[in-house]
Structure 1
Amino acid sequence: MNPTIKDVAKYANVSIATVSRIVNGLPGYSEDTKKKVQEAIEALGYQPNAIARGLINKRTQTIGVLFPEVSGMLSSEVLEGVENAAHDGGFSVIVCNTTSSGKRTVKYLRLLQEKRVDGIIFASEDVKEEYYKIFQEMKVPVVLVSTASSNYDLPFVRVNDFEGAFQATEHLVKKGHKQIGMIGGSKNDPIAGVPRMRGFKEALQKHSLAFSENHITTNEGYRFQNGKESLPVLLKQLPDMTALFAASDEMAIGAMSAAHQLGIKVPEELSIIGYDNLKIAEMCYPALTTVSQPLKDMGQTAGEILVKLIKGEEKEAESRYMPFTIVERQSVCDLHDK
């Protein structure tokens, strides 16, 4: 027989009302009492009734998370942080894979509206007008992660992509490289594509190095295959290239694979720096030098902000730029040493 709230109250030697307040995140008890009740819940294996809880606090204790590509390594790390924050706040997570499709995104937003989620985390995509209209209809807090909106006042948690790309390129310049190419994203992507390409271009210009359209190949995605297919194209455009900045780690590793097939040694003949610092970056050979985004921390921070907004602990949320670092491994050589 499943334990009831009465069993928890008896085990913890408190009233049923106290257990109810603690389970529903309401005030009116000490930390010692909270600890006793939580220990009783764990010992008995008590599962609060979500429907009953929703009737009390007018919440479903769920949040919706929308990713353009759930299977991507970046998404999995961000999601881990979001789920940690949600769990700590007493919420469950519904994950939606939009595949960067506007129709699919709208469909999932309508589904989340029907499910009456308490808040939304929107990741890695531009916020279109049709999405924002649904956010307003839902009347729930929305937090952006790994993206931002220039058109709508929505709090975000992200890294400054322009600065990250600028410093990645400058890192190659400081290692003595003068002929530097870039495998970029889409020119139609205002989130990561455009700012990273702009950071690359401005870093070259700052150091009075040549730049033309031949220095960049563009792609609609940021996956391994995009990097692998782009390297031969870029080498034709820039045959004297000694170093490469890739707009994602997956692209960088794809370029390393293509270099191996072409008989080009990394880093002796071609230095490569990536962007993200995914777990796979230190598993490949040679281990990848990259711009490290604190992906899990970004997800956790976005989740914590959302939980506070839902619970009314904050009325407004400030956007956060998270710090990034360049992690040096073995895929970039110093030409000054040659």
Structure 2
Amino acid sequence: MVTIKDVAKQAEVSVSTVSRIMNNLPGYSEETKKRVEKVIKEIGYQPNAVARGLINRKTKTIGVLVPKVSDLFASEVLAGIEDSAHDLDYSVMVCKTNFDGVRTINYLQTLSEKRVDGIVIVSQGITSECYKKIEKMDVPVALVATQSDFPLPFIKVNDYQAAYDAASYLVQKGHSKVGMIAGTKGDVISTVPRVEGFKEALSDGGITVTDQMIAYGYFDFKSGIEAMSQLLINEPTITAVFCASDEMAAGALSLLHKKGIKIPSEISVVGYDNTAMAEKTVPPLTTLAQPLYDMGRASIDLLLSSSAKIENLYPHHIVERETVRSFSQ
């Protein structure tokens, strides 16, 4: 393996001179710089990022905490993060927390030991213990698809307004018997505002909302199946359902298909996120779109900005496909 000593020997300079040149520090001539850079290129020396970081306090590495890496929601956010980081010559360390508080703290400790230049936290809440750890690390942190009571900059859509718009869309299509498949019960970051937006939209449309009209899940395919089954028992006359994620919507579509219930002629379905899954369901899913990739990209700029705003709300919109029937035409 080629080392910095090999570069110094071939360029006929000291190791400290090579180090200063690599880290843009003063103390050498332009001629020496060109000679060292030529040798580095010729012998293919690859400097160790951690070793360089000990000198300039930068490792060009960003840590990302994400509950899951397998779902399409996370993959689209991560794609934006990684592309933006790559453009700026940063590498990314992805840590799957699985919503586990202890694992989250352990990963923060690992990222601290790796001397990362910043941390992006995706779609999970920030506990007081987690924030205390972040404060001790003294590195910039940006949140994506979540927010916190602590002074951490975040990027997300307005979940209340997005859910309100999705439910209003169904009401405007003439649906008066509408159910909701919500996320994790009690989740104040995503579930509560989406449920409140759904309720308010129906109330504004003159529809009385009962607890029987809302079934809860865990934002995944399996819970979409289970919640849809529960809704059909609780409210067998519903003509439409709003799902708080595309994965749950896909689960609902699967359950309805198995029961021989036609979509959208018998029941209409609207998802949330506009992940790649929404285009692949049968029929293709109408959904409330979040700009997930763009939010991921923007998180790197937010992380590295010296004048970042705390609140960064991104626009949402409805993408119409083939799972909603209109009664109003």
Q: TM-score range by the shorter chain?
A: 0.7 to 0.9
| Structure 1: gaps of 5 or more residues | 10-14, 27-37, 309-313
CA contact (8 A) 1:89 1:307 kept: no
Corresponding residue number in structure 2 for 1:197: 195
Alignment of 1:34-183 (within 5 A): 47-149=46-148, 151-183=149-181
CA contact (8 A) 2:221 2:250 kept: yes
Which AA in structure 2 matches 1:58? Answer: R
- The 1:267–1:90 alpha-carbon spacing in structure 2 relative to 1, beyond 3 Å, is same
RMSD of the TM alignment (CA)?
2.7
1:277 and 1:103 map into 2 onto residues whose CA distance is 31
Alignment of 1:1-338 (within 5 A): 20=22, 47-149=46-148, 151-219=149-217, 221-308=218-305, 314-337=306-329
Which AA in structure 2 matches 1:139? Answer: D
In the TM superposition, residue 48 of structure 1 has moved relative to its aligned partner by 3.4
1:41 and 1:216 map into 2 onto residues whose CA distance is 63
In the TM superposition, residue 55 of structure 1 has moved relative to its aligned partner by 3.0
TM-score, normalization by structure 2: 0.87
1:85 and 1:154 map into 2 onto residues whose CA distance is 20
Q: Deviations over 1:186-235 (max 9, x none)?
A: 2321111111111100000111112110110012x100111111112101
- The 1:52–1:166 alpha-carbon spacing in structure 2 relative to 1, beyond 3 Å, is same
Percent identity among equivalent residues?
Answer: 46
CA contact (8 A) 1:249 1:277 kept: yes
1:218 and 1:51 map into 2 onto residues whose CA distance is 45
| Structure 2: gaps of 5 or more residues | 12-16, 27-36
- The 1:172–1:56 alpha-carbon spacing in structure 2 relative to 1, beyond 3 Å, is same
CA contact (8 A) 2:172 2:328 kept: no
Which AA in structure 2 matches 1:323? Answer: P
- The 1:121–1:257 alpha-carbon spacing in structure 2 relative to 1, beyond 3 Å, is same
1:190 and 1:43 map into 2 onto residues whose CA distance is 56
Secondary structure at the aligned position of 1:65 is classed as strand
1:175 and 1:45 map into 2 onto residues whose CA distance is 64
CA contact (8 A) 2:152 2:310 kept: no
Q: Deviations over 1:29-85 (max 9, x none)?
A: xxxxxxxxx9x9999866333134213321222111001111111111101111112
1:316 and 1:264 map into 2 onto residues whose CA distance is 49
2:41 and 2:91 map into 1 onto residues whose CA distance is 18
- The 1:266–1:45 alpha-carbon spacing in structure 2 relative to 1, beyond 3 Å, is farther
- The 1:244–1:60 alpha-carbon spacing in structure 2 relative to 1, beyond 3 Å, is same
In the TM superposition, residue 3 of structure 1 has moved relative to its aligned partner by 9.7
Secondary structure at the aligned position of 2:328 is classed as helix
- The 1:46–1:321 alpha-carbon spacing in structure 2 relative to 1, beyond 3 Å, is farther
Secondary structure at the aligned position of 2:270 is classed as strand
CA contact (8 A) 1:3 1:45 kept: no
Corresponding residue number in structure 1 for 2:33: none
- The 1:19–1:89 alpha-carbon spacing in structure 2 relative to 1, beyond 3 Å, is farther
1:300 and 1:325 map into 2 onto residues whose CA distance is 19
CA contact (8 A) 1:86 1:304 kept: no
Which AA in structure 2 matches 1:291? Answer: L
1:272 and 1:166 map into 2 onto residues whose CA distance is 15
1:72 and 1:41 map into 2 onto residues whose CA distance is 42
1:248 and 1:154 map into 2 onto residues whose CA distance is 25
Larger Rg: 2
2:163 and 2:41 map into 1 onto residues whose CA distance is 47
TM-score, normalization by structure 1: 0.85
Secondary structure at the aligned position of 1:331 is classed as coil
Corresponding residue number in structure 2 for 1:33: none
CA contact (8 A) 1:165 1:197 kept: yes
